Amino acid sequence: MKGYLRKDGQKGIRNVIVVTYLVECAHHVAEEIVRETDSSHLPVHLIGFGGCAPNAYAQWVMERLCTHPNVGGVVIVSLGCENFLRDQLLQVVKESGREGAMIVIQEEGGTSASIRKGVEAARAMIPVVQAVPKVELHWQDLCIGTVCGGSDACSGITANPAVGLAFNRLVDAGATCIFEEPGELIGCEAMLRQRGITPEVGQQLYDCIHKADIYYKKMGHDSFSQGNAEGGLTTIEEKSLGSYAKSGNRPIQGLIRPGEIPVTNGLYMMDVVPDGEARWGFPNVSDTAEIVEMAASGCHLVLYTTGSGSVAGAAIAPVIKVCSNPLTYERMSEDMDVNAGRIITEGASLEDVSDELILLIEHVADGQRTKSEALGHREFFLGYKEFCR
């Protein structure tokens, strides 16, 4: 495998420029900059934060995304009067050794002038980012996340345990792996506690699930969706056990929050549920938000298991779709990378699908595009949250 060596020592599997808007008012300008600059030779991805009120979580996550190992340059698009700390973001980008530029719409004179200047800035970055040296990549250089969306009755017996087995093998090879969705692990807290690398870590994992349970009850809704029921899942317990299978069975090194980078290799759980009162809405409004948080904690790519089917990809970090249901795979094969449902229809083993996953991860890390990348999916969402640090 070959990757891109950043000046801060990180190694990326993609080499992209991101254009980020810092308030919804700047969204259109940023989108036009991307449209006029994007190319197959060096992709330009759109990310952003729609809110105007200050939020430490959003600032932290955006700083981590703009210095992600897959990112070589950043164009920041500010309206000018939002509360986002734009100068701090630009400083973080430049201190990481990445190319950085900022467009302030109110200072540039409006939409057209801002788009022109933004396109000029992005195009000026292209040759510099293209010149980033490529180096050998090893498993210990990689961070891999997993999420699930549209789970069904097949998820817990095909795709999820196959990902769990792949996680075991990746961790054993020296990679860093992250799983999350504490709201979908309610009932599994005792098993998670037993897997903590220390009693303290075990208790943190237990408390994380307990917090999620309280939060969802206050919201009046848990993570069990209409689509889950239509897909054949019967209870939150059944869904939780299926989701738990994605984590494999290796010891868990620690509990991290979005934007925190694992300090050592190994397996980690991410706590995505805000601290304090349930005043921020649902912990994640979509699966895309979960993928964004995985990327913010350094995931080079994300394994996305789905039963009923999802077409979402993501900006910055490639997404590998692992389909649990053979009928869904047949119907949506254009969007699915791996057919874990062949465990049901063809008698394939979990080991067979795990082998396929490991090989595909290696190829994607080496530059092969995933289905969502080939189709142009670059979904992104970042909202408000609060964590006590």
Q: What does the pLDDT look like over 354-366, one tens digit per residue?
A: 999 999 999 999 9
Helix (H) or strand (E) holding 171: helix 159-172
224 pLDDT above the threshold of 60: no
Contact between 77 and 116 (Cβ < 8 Å): no
Tell me, yes or no, whether 87 and 171 share the same domain: no
Domain final residue, candidates 97, 114, 135: 135
Q: pLDDT at position 236, please? A: 63
Which phi and psi (to 5°) does residue 174 adopt?
Answer: 105, 0
Q: How far is CA 313 from the centre of its chain?
A: 9
If asked whether residues 158 and 105 sit together in one domain, one would say: no
Angstrom distances, CA of residue 325 to CA of 12, 43, 231: 32, 32, 10
Percentage of the chain modeled with pLDDT above 70: 95
Residues 128 and 31 in one domain: yes
Tens of pLDDT, residue by residue over 320-338, are 999 999 999 999 999 999 9
The pLDDT, as a whole number, for residue 247 is: 95
Mean pLDDT, rounded, for 259-266? 96
19 occurs within a structural domain: yes
Residues 150-165 have a mean pLDDT of: 87
Instruction: Work out the average pLDDT over 133-154.
Output: 91
Structural domain boundaries enclosing 79 = 2-135
**Long-range pairs, 108-116, Cβ under 8 A, ≥24:** 111/28, 111/29, 114/29, 114/77, 115/29, 115/32, 115/33, 115/36
Cβ burial 313-341 (10 Å sphere, 16+ → b, else e): bbbbbbbbbbbbbbbbbeebeebbbbbbb
**Does residue 20 come out as left (phi exceeding 0), alpha (psi in the -120 to 50 range) or beta?**
beta
Task: Check residue 216 and give its pLDDT.
Answer: 85
Co-location of 106 and 151 in the same domain:
no
Can you give the pLDDT at residue 238? Answer: 65
- The percent of residues above 90 in pLDDT, for the chain, comes to 82
Spatial neighbors of 95 by CB under 8 A, at least 6 apart, are none
Q: Is 35 helix (H, G, I), strand (E, B) or coil?
A: helix
Q: Are 302 and 155 contained in the same domain?
A: yes
**Within a domain: 383:** no
Among 86, 111, 135, the domain-final residue is: 135
Using the predicted structure, report yes or no on whether residue 234 has a pLDDT greater than 60. no
| pLDDT at 231 > cutoff 60 | no
What is the structure's pLDDT at 280? Answer: 73
In the chain, the number of structural domains is 2
**pLDDT of res. 154:** 83
pLDDT at 225: 59
Indicate the pLDDT class of residue 142, thresholds 50, 70 and 90: very high
What pLDDT, on a 0 to 100 scale, did the predictor assign at position 308?
87
Shared domain for 149 and 179, answered yes or no, is: yes
Asked whether the predicted pLDDT for residue 146 surpasses 60, the reply is: yes
Query: CA 35, CA 123: separation in Å to the nearest integer?
Result: 12
Task: List, for residues 285-323, the tens digit of each pLDDT value.
Answer: 888 999 999 999 999 999 999 998 999 999 999 999 999
Per-residue pLDDT at 227: 58
pLDDT of residue 39: 84
Quote the mean pLDDT of the chain.
93
Helix or strand run (H / E) with residue 99: strand 99-104
| Whether residue 286 sits in one domain with residue 233 | yes
Mean pLDDT of 1-15: 97
pLDDT band at 168; cut points 50, 70, 90: very high
Q: 86-124: per-residue pLDDT in tens?
A: 999 999 999 999 999 999 999 999 999 999 999 999 999
Q: Is residue 143 located within the same domain as residue 125?
A: no
Stronger pLDDT, 170 or 235, i.e. the higher one: 170
